[in-house]
Structure 1
Amino acid sequence: MLTKAVVVVRTGVLALDDRPVPQAQPDQAVVRVVYGGICGSDLHYWRSGRIGESVLRAPMVLGHEIVGVVERAAGDGSGPAAGTRVAVHPAQVCGACELCGRGDQHLCPELRYFGSAARDPHTDGGFAEHLVVPAGRLVPIPDGLDLRTAALAEPASVVLHGLRRLERLGQSVEGRDVLVTGAGPIGLLAVALTHAANARSVTVTDLHDQPLDVARRIGATRTIRADQATEVPAVDVAVESSGAPPAVTMALEALRPGGAIVQIGHLPVDGVTAPLHLAVTRELTVAGSSRFSSELPEALAIMAAHPEHFAPVVSAVFPYGEVEAAFHQAADPSRSSKVLLAFGADS
C-alpha cells in the first residue's frame, strides 16, 4: 500500500510523494493520520535545511505532532483497539540505557524523533496519510476532546515537561506570578497550562499583536510588546519559549529573589550572553528542558478539562495538498499560531 507524504526534498523545496506503508510487525499498529501540526523544526528544515546541528542530507518526511485513528490494531493485542482516536508519541529510544532506565527516555543517546535529520539516515516523520507505529507509542485521546485541539498534545507535552522539571526543583507555578517570553505556539501553550495550573498572574511578551491577542483569550492577565519600551513586572517563574537571547535577559531580570526560569526555546548554538550573575545574587533556579518523556497522557487530560484555553491556539487548518500555503502561513508569526495539515476526515 502507498501513502501520500509531505517531504522536504532540499532547502526551500516541499513535495508530495507516494511512500510505501511498511508491513506492520506484531507490536505495531496502523494509524490513519487526521491532523499534523507544523512545528518550528519543520519550518527550519524547509527554510534553512537544518535546525541547530541537525543538517538535512537527503529527502525526509516531515512532522512529529500527529493525531489520528487506529485503523488496524497491533497483532499481538497490545495498544489501543481499532477505531481509537490517538496521539502519537514521536520518540524512538533504546529502552536499555541508564537514562531510559531512570525514566529520562527523552535524553537517550539513541533517541530518534519523527521528522528529524539528527541522524543519518534521517528519521521520517508523520506527515502522511498512514503510519505504522509501535502500539506502545499511541495514547488514546479523551472522549470530548476534538482531534483538532488534540493535535496540540505533543507541543503541550513539551511545555508540561518543562513545568514538571521546575516542580521537581521545588518551583511550582500555582499561586505565583509567571512570565512567558514569546507567544508562538509553545508560549501560548505555556499560557494555557500555567493558567490551568492556577498561576496568580501570567504576563506574556511578543513582537506581534496577533499572538498577544490569542494569549489574552486563553488566560494571559497582561501582554507586552517586547519591541516597545514597557516595563516588565517582577515575577516568580519565567518560561522562556522564544529562543531569543534578549528574551533570556528580560526573563532573568524580571525574576524576584528565589525565582526560577525554565528554558524551553532553542537558543543559538554559538552561545548566549545573559546576566547570569543574577542567578547568584538572587539565588535563582535555572533549568533547561528538552522535548518530553511521559507527559503526553497528562497533557491530553489537562486539555480535555480546559479545551477553551487550548483550541484558540490553532489558527488555521490546510488540506495537505496545500502544504506550500500552509508552511508560508505557519512561517509568519504576525498572522498565525499553530497551523495544522489535514490528512483525513475528522470523524
Structure 2
Amino acid sequence: MSIACTLFGPRDLRLTDHEVPAPGEREVRVRLGAGGICGSDLHYYEHGRAGIFAIRAPFVPGHEASGVVESIGVGVTQVKVGDKVAVNPSHPCGVCEFCRAGRGNLCNQMVFLGSAAIFPHLPGLFREHFIVGERQLTPISEAEISLGEIACAEPLSIGLHAIHRAGSVLGKTVLITGGGTIGCMTAIAARIAGAARIIVCDVQDRALSIAKAVGADLCLRSDLISASELADSADVCIEAAGHPSAVVTCLTAAKRGGRIIQVGTLPSEMTFPANQIMSRELEYVGAFRALAAFDWAVEAIRTRRADVRPIISAQLPLAQSQAAFDLALDRQRSTKVQITFD
C-alpha cells in the first residue's frame, strides 16, 4: 500500500492508503522525494478552495515535487529506474489554439496535478508514489543537487515566466511586492535576466531577510512606508503578494510607461485605481503558471545559477503532513515548507 496526504475539507487533512500504482505505456512510477507546500495548497487546507476551484471530494494536493524513478512503463526512454527527477505538474493538450500558438500554459484542456479545477479531482503529488507521463519528468544527474532543490523547479518557473512576461529587464529596476516563495523566485529570475536593481517589499522581516539572501538589493517594510515614497521608482513592478494594497504600490511605483506583472491571486472583489493605467500609460499584464519556463528552471537549479536553498525553511515527513501545513501557514517561521518521503 501507498500513503497519501488527503484533504476532506477545510482543516480536515488525513493520511489515506492507496494501492501502489503500476505505470502504463510511456508512464513512470515515481517515489516522492520532496513536495513543496504552495499558497494554493494552503488555501485548499484553510478554506477548502483556491480562488474559484473548490474541493468537491477527497483531494490530494501538491504540485511542486521531485522524486526518484521506481519503475517505467513500455516505451519510456528518457528516464531510468533510480533517476532523480523534477516533476512538471502541467499536462497541456497540445492541440488547442493556445497550445498551437506556443502558449500551452493557457490550454483550455489543461490537466494540472494538485488542482481542484477538474472534477473528478486529479490527485496531486503529496503521495508516497505517483504515476506521471514520461514527458512531465526531467532527470537530474548532479549528485550535489538535493531533491528539495529540485522540487523548487515549479515555483522558480513561475518567477521566470513572470520576468519573461515583463520583457527585457536588462539594466532596469524591478520592484516586487511580496517576499514569499514566488516573490523570492521572481527576484532570482530578475537577477538571472540582468536586472540592475531589485527591490522587494513585504510586511514581514523574515520574508525580507530571505529576499535579501537570494539577491534583492533593497528590502522594504511596505507597512512602514507610504506608497508615495516609492513613486516612479521602478521600470517593472511584479505583484506577487496577492493583496490589494500591493497593487496600489505597483501602480504608484511604476514609472510612466512602465509595466506591471500580476502574479499573485487577488480577491475577487476589490477597488482598482485603473485611471493610473490610462494617465501614465502603464502596461498591466498577467502571468499564469508557466510552460517552457519549467525547463529553464530545472537548468538554473542544476547549475546553481539559481540557488534556491535559502528559501527552503523546513522539511517534514509525509506522516507529519498536518504539522507541515500548519508550519507553512506561519509566515513568521517559514517560507517554503516541504513534505518528504525517505
Offset of residue 52 of structure 1:
1.1
Name the counterpart of 2:176.
Answer: 180
Alignment of structure 1 residues 80-229 onto 2, 5 Å: 80-141=79-140, 143=142, 144-167=144-167, 172-229=168-225
Matched position secondary structure for 1:160:
helix
Alignment of structure 1 residues 268-347 onto 2, 5 Å: 268-270=267-269, 272-306=270-304, 309-344=307-342
> Is contact 2:192-2:305 (8 Å) kept?
no
Q: Normalised by the size of structure 1, how large is the TM-score?
A: 0.93
Q: State the one-letter code of the partner of 2:334.
A: S
Alignment of structure 1 residues 17-32 onto 2, 5 Å: 17-32=16-31
Matched position secondary structure for 2:175:
strand
* 1:231-282 deviation per Cα after TM superposition (whole angstroms, max 9, x unaligned): 2260101111011011011011101122111100011123x32322222232
Name the counterpart of 1:78.
Answer: 77
Whether 2:12 is the aligned partner of 1:6: answer: no
Matched position secondary structure for 1:71:
strand
Name the counterpart of 1:232.
Answer: 230
% identical aligned pairs: 38
Q: Normalised by the size of structure 2, how large is the TM-score?
A: 0.94
Give me the CA root mean square deviation. 1.5
Provide the C-alpha distance between the structure 2 equivalents of 1:214 and 1:75, rounded to a whole number of angstroms: 44
Alignment of structure 1 residues 11-50 onto 2, 5 Å: 11-50=10-49
Q: State the one-letter code of the partner of 1:204.
A: V
Matched position secondary structure for 1:174:
coil
Offset of residue 79 of structure 1:
2.6
* 1:27-52 deviation per Cα after TM superposition (whole angstroms, max 9, x unaligned): 10111111000011111111101111
> Is contact 2:158-2:290 (8 Å) kept?
yes
Name the counterpart of 2:54.
Answer: 55
Matched position secondary structure for 1:60:
coil
Matched position secondary structure for 1:213:
helix
Offset of residue 306 of structure 1:
3.4
Q: State the one-letter code of the partner of 2:49.
A: R
Q: Which runs of 5+ in 1 are unaligned?
A: none
Matched position secondary structure for 2:236:
strand
* 1:132-190 deviation per Cα after TM superposition (whole angstroms, max 9, x unaligned): 110011012362432211211101111211211222xxxx1221101010011100111
> Is contact 1:323-1:341 (8 Å) kept?
yes
* 1:192-230 deviation per Cα after TM superposition (whole angstroms, max 9, x unaligned): 121222211111111111010111111111111111125
Q: State the one-letter code of the partner of 2:272.
A: A
> Is contact 1:78-1:136 (8 Å) kept?
no
Provide the C-alpha distance between the structure 1 equivalents of 2:174 and 2:300, rounded to a whole number of angstroms: 19
Provide the C-alpha distance between the structure 1 equivalents of 2:283 and 2:73, rounded to a whole number of angstroms: 44
> Is contact 2:204-2:221 (8 Å) kept?
yes
Is the alpha carbon distance of 1:174 and 1:306 closer, same or farther for their aligned partners in structure 2, counting shifts above 3 Å? Answer: farther
> Is contact 1:160-1:299 (8 Å) kept?
yes
> Is contact 1:7-1:60 (8 Å) kept?
yes
Greater shift, 132-141 or 77-86, is seen at 77-86
> Is contact 2:5-2:126 (8 Å) kept?
yes
> Is contact 2:37-2:339 (8 Å) kept?
yes
Provide the C-alpha distance between the structure 1 equivalents of 2:188 and 2:163, rounded to a whole number of angstroms: 12
> Is contact 1:50-1:56 (8 Å) kept?
yes
Matched position secondary structure for 1:210:
helix
Moved over 4 A (4+): none
Provide the C-alpha distance between the structure 1 equivalents of 2:303 and 2:169, rounded to a whole number of angstroms: 18
Matched position secondary structure for 2:95:
coil
